[in-house]
Structure 1
């Protein structure tokens, strides 16, 4: 009888040990990573070194970029030029970027433009420093599959020009391929204006834009001029397909530069 009781106790302890081990192992299992399929997010920020409200948006962009490494999230920072008259000329600014922002105001039926302004996939706009809104917009668009496919490759790069090959399968006739030449990061010391005395960090600075109509030309080659401070490691090209009537962006990708830049012929 004592042997039976002892056996029962041992069996009970063994079962408890197995249950405990299973519980511990289960708690150590990492949660599955949920992928976003064919979704993507193009985040366009309209900003300026002359605007005191813009640095928080620039900093948020840098954090979001780190959070989404390896995901199809494409960040573009456009420095507008209409702040230049107020005490500090932003060396990254361009009238072309101010014009693009005004075009968005028409597409999205807005009363005007402002900084910092963020627009995701050409359709959702909000104050660029709104953390929750930005992250939600990215998360939502990463789950939306696109019928348009895009590929972009840098074929050659000299000291002042790059040649690219593109393919935009499924793009509508009323769309353009927008090529953005992007400087990945830099800093600026601001000596006047609203941000006087500050050192500002920038990422994904758009240097120039180039539009290629996609009516009957879904595949082809394009060349883009490179600036004097170009380096293969510090720059990239982001390309996206955009509807010219609504601003909707239906596909996006990026292309790296070859590490060896050839001499000019």
Structure 2
């Protein structure tokens, strides 16, 4: 008698599980959850003239390797305020320094420094602090993305043309498009890092913002030396009032024949 009751319960339980497994509403919810998974845009503000920066560059290379294929997007911005210390960083741009100061305003910081890391426009830390960076990374990867972004990148006539769709972007949001050189090495001859061969990853060579709409097309001029096999594009949605990044994607380059 007990055996029959137990078997009946298992049969009933099995039918219930099967019904749940093939429930269209459950599958739809799982699909939506997967599409809305967490992500992390890690921005490093660095300089070849700063002796404290190489450990941060090395840490980001480590993070990138560990999270290959995952929604982790690394952007290294080389600032220009170290250039007067005896070595001009060839990757530095005034606009990158302006971006760092914009974060100081967004995050209510008294000053800027190198190496500095900002994660999703919400977490700020010293770029070489591995434990703190991993903690911020885990928080963002395990949080749902507030918005969604899809994009296709096309190379045509010396331009990068991007077609995109944004969902839940919200007011005051811009589409940021960054052209990134994946790897480079520099032999530094002067300044605090004189005599050192510095490896770099994910070097931002150009970033441009556009008003975000539900769907649209934007275009950027490609920098000199651009090579689609050695570069990538990272695009993301960012709130202009708070600096919070709400979605990000790394579209593949396509080339017109």
Q: Classify the TM-score, shorter chain.
A: 0.7 to 0.9
Aligned residue for 1:228? Answer: 224
Provide the rounded CA distance (Å) in 2 between the counterparts of 1:37 and 1:250: 11
Provide the rounded CA distance (Å) in 2 between the counterparts of 1:255 and 1:186: 21
Aligned residue for 1:88? Answer: 87
Provide the rounded CA distance (Å) in 2 between the counterparts of 1:182 and 1:122: 18
Aligned residue for 1:192? Answer: 190
Q: 1:131 to 1:36 in 2, by over 3 A?
A: farther
Cα offset for 1:147? 3.1
1:245 aligns with 2:241: yes
CA contact (8 A) 1:151 1:168 kept: yes
| TM-score normalised per structure 2 | 0.84
Q: RMSD of the alignment, in Å? A: 1.4
CA contact (8 A) 1:235 1:257 kept: no
Q: Secondary structure at the match of 1:255?
A: coil
Q: How many residues align?
A: 224
Q: Secondary structure at the match of 2:151?
A: strand
Provide the rounded CA distance (Å) in 1 between the counterparts of 2:124 and 2:97: 16
Per-residue CA distance 1:64-122 (angstroms, 9 max, x = gap): 00010111000000000000011000010000000000000010000100000000000
Structure 2 residues not aligned, in runs of 5+: 1-33
Provide the rounded CA distance (Å) in 1 between the counterparts of 2:219 and 2:35: 32
Cα offset for 1:136? 1.2
Q: Secondary structure at the match of 2:251?
A: strand
Cα offset for 1:261? 6.1
Partner of residue 182 from structure 1, selected from 171, 180, 183: 180
Q: Which runs of 4+ in 1 moved over 3 A?
A: none
CA contact (8 A) 1:37 1:142 kept: no
Aligned residue for 1:128? Answer: 127
1:111 aligns with 2:110: yes
Q: 1:98 to 1:199 in 2, by over 3 A?
A: same
1:154 aligns with 2:153: yes
Provide the rounded CA distance (Å) in 1 between the counterparts of 2:166 and 2:36: 18
Cα offset for 1:255? 1.6
Provide the rounded CA distance (Å) in 2 between the counterparts of 1:178 and 1:156: 18
Cα offset for 1:183? 0.5
Cα offset for 1:169? 1.1
